[in-house]
Structure 1
Amino acid sequence: MFRPLIMSCAVLFASTPSTLFAEIYSGPNDTSHAIDGGIAADDERFVGWADVIDSTRTMFGPRGSTSINQTGGFNSLGDLDATEIAAGVSPGYLTVQFATGISNGAGHDFAVFENGFLFGKNAAGTPGLFAEFAYVDVSTNGTDFARFPSVSLNTGPLPGGFGNNFSPFDVTNVYNLAGKHAAGFGTPFDLDDLSTDPLVSGGLLDLNNIQYVRLFDIPGDGSFTDSRGNPIIDNWMTSGSGGFDFRLGEGLGVGVLNITAVPEPGGLVMLGLAGCVLSLRRTRRRTGVTRTRGKK
């Protein structure tokens, strides 16, 4: 089957049937893929990192962490069992903030890290991944969040696992979900994917001033879907640290590739003084007020 290597996101999400695009995305440790290659934690392109977990915008689900770890330890979002899913219990979620915002620059703008590990292979020989996925949402004001469109075309795990709660998954079928790359490799996200979101056109989301990134756990039994209605399958239920796992810190959590330009405090003062001088000059020109040396 022909598998195009490069295509626009608009084509990816508009085309049918979905099986046409199976296995075209990056593998769990592929850094050179044209669409969504992972980014190593020590990549020099990172210019900043999430520096705090927002406790007011974080809620761990059942079997998740009981308190927030801000010092590099794991924060597990938790997992839901079938009864909880049927009852409409909310999955766990976690929101991070930044010293400066994320901007919509050229290419990918930030990357999210998880602790999945290589396990098994698909038919093409690409490594599988012990995967725990999460949706990725962003916000400017901390109230209105837009969710990245996603693709998940797996109908089950790869062979060689031990049931749906400990098996490898083929992440070449997965796009724009956090957790699709192995530990040490961040999953990249491009804010251009949200350019047509209603929050952007409504003025509630500024893609050049993203201050919050929210990770929303996906219980992987298929009850939760991608942007096209496909069921999302991952390791479910997971024991121990249930659900998506997140660690805050440089080389871990969320790395920034394009940062919102914020002038230094001294720069702000100089900009203000320059504005005052320019305003004064314009006023004098309008009123005809001038000063001539040697005359009274």
Structure 2
Amino acid sequence: MIRKLLFTLLLTSSLAEAQSYAPAAGQAGSTAIAKSSTVFKGWATGISVVRGPQDIANPTGPLASSGDPSGALGGTSTGVVCLGDGGSATLTFGVPIANGPGFDFAVFENGFSDTFLELAFVEVSSNGVNFFRFPSHSETQTTTQIGGFGAVDCRYINNLAGKYRVNFGTPFDLSDVPNNALLDKNNITHVRVIDVIGTINPLYASHDSFGNIVNDPYSTPYATGGFDLNAVGVINQKTLLSAKSFDLASVTLYPNPTSDMVYLDTDQQSSILIYDMGGNVRKKLPTAQYNEVKVSDLNPGIYLFEITIDEKKTTKRIVIK
């Protein structure tokens, strides 16, 4: 009887400590993808960053400042952009990401070991306005704060960027994101990476999709604090129509009216002329893939966007507030 009781206690303890998710890069069962892998078809080409404070407990203190945002673009950079506590980076792509078989893209951080992991939430958008978060899970204990240079076991982490060390991406499958009428999973134009603050102080803590506090290294009150974004690699890309078979009438611009950015719902390369109502050209954009156009530098009024795709033209009216 005593032997059975001891066996039961040992088994229960073992199960309680069992990890649920994939292990570190290089280990059997890991989902880590090497940056040099041929599965990557493209990389982020544009980025905007909102830096967070070096320490969320001092929200009026200095912001994280290390790294140029361009360090997170392309697939060959060794640079990073440091986000700070709760900071974010929104990335865009030359060709949208699609929900294909298996993982669709991967996020790279610069953790120097398999256990020094700075984590981030990941969100996606197909219009640059409405963002939807990947469901995430942290099984890391929340009774003791992980210190600024403490260890995190990646086997307790799921769907949080930063799960793997430098040069190994954390992959994401768009099928994991709940369906929504405002999200086209086969036309993902924006990926947003949001630093997990890491503190277990309930006043400032970040929570996973189950309501658990996410415990990761805190505090990191330095210019290099927070998630260090290195790259976003694309595995599954949207299949684009050729320009010759493209219907210009399907090109839409939104929101309208607007005051900051105009977003284009097209995958084609285009050139754009922006006219005021007096017929004066206020902006001239050369041929490229445009998913968004900045208009905050234009005076309020009514403007005409002349969009040219493969020598075909269409004109759209936009009100700028």
Distance 1:214 1:163, change over 3 A: closer
Residues 131-190 of structure 1 show CA distances to partners (whole Å, capped at 9, x for unaligned) of: 1110000001111000000010011699xxx96111111110000000010101100100
Match of 2:169 among 163, 186, 190: 186
Q: Comparing both chains, which one has the higher relative contact order based on Cα–Cα distances under 8 Å and sequence gaps of 6 or more?
A: 1
Q: TM-score scaled by structure 2? A: 0.62
d(CA) in 1 for partners of 2:171, 2:186: 17
Q: Does 1:269 align with 2:265?
A: no
> Which structure shows the higher strand fraction?
2
RMSD: 2.5
Which residue number in structure 1 is paired with residue 94 of structure 2?
A: 99
Deviations, residues 70-128 of structure 1 (Å, cap 9, x unaligned): 1443211012xxxxxxxxxxx2111000000000000110000001122xxxxxxxxx5
* Aligned-pair CA distance for 1:234: 0.5
Q: Which runs of 5+ in 2 are unaligned?
A: 1-6, 8-14, 55-63, 72-76, 248-321
Partner AA of 1:164 in structure 2: G
User: Given the superposition, is the C-alpha separation of residues 61 and 141 from structure 1 closer, same or farther in structure 2, using an over 3 Å criterion?
Assistant: same
Distance 2:26 2:35 in 1: 13
The AA in structure 2 aligned to 1:24 is: S
**Residue aligning to 1:132:** 118
Q: Which contiguous aligned blocks of 4+ residues in structure 1 show a shift greater than 4 angstroms?
A: 19-22
Segments of 5+ residues of structure 1 without an aligned counterpart are 2-18, 80-90, 119-127, 248-252, 273-296
Inter-CA distance 148–44: structure 2 relative to 1 (3 Å threshold): same
How far apart, CA to CA, are the structure 2 residues paired with 1:112 and 1:157?
Answer: 29
User: Structure 1 residue 30: deviation in Å?
Assistant: 3.8
Residue of structure 1 in register with 2:104 after alignment: 109
Q: Equivalents in 2 of 1:217, 1:20: separation in Å?
A: 28
Deviates more, 1:136-145 or 1:223-232: 223-232
Identity across the alignment (%):
40
**For residues 105 and 189 of structure 1, do their structure 2 counterparts lie closer, same or farther at Cα, with a shift above 3 Å needed?**
same
- Could you tell me whether the CA contact under 8 Å between 2:95 and 2:238 is conserved in 1? yes
**1:168: which partner in 2?**
151
Are the aligned partners of 1:157 and 1:170 in contact in 2 as well (CA < 8 Å)? no
Letter in 2 for 1:52: G
Normalization by structure 1: what TM-score? 0.67
Aligned equivalent of 2:25: 29
Q: After superposition, what is the alpha-carbon deviation per residue over 1:222-258, rounded to whole angstroms, capped at 9, x for unaligned? A: 32111111110110011430000013xxxxx101110
Q: Is the 8 A contact 2:146 2:216 kept in 1?
A: no
Indicate how the Cα distance of structure 1 residues 219 and 262 shifts in structure 2: closer, same or farther if over 3 A, else same.
Answer: same
For 1:230, the equivalent position in structure 2 comes to 212
The residue number in structure 2 matching 1:218 is 196
After superposition, residues 70-89 of structure 1 pair within 5 angstroms as: 70-71=70-71, 72=77, 73-79=79-85
Match of 1:149 among 123, 135, 138: 135
Measure the CA separation in 1 of the matches of 2:44 and 2:27. 22
- Assess, with a 3 A threshold, how the Cα gap between structure 1 residues 270 and 154 changes in structure 2: closer, same or farther: closer
Is the 8 Å Cα contact of residues 142 and 213 (structure 2) preserved in structure 1? no
Deviations 1:3-28 (A, max 9, x none): xxxxxxxxxxxxxxxx8694131223
Secondary structure of residue in 2 paired with 1:50: strand
Matched positions, count? 214
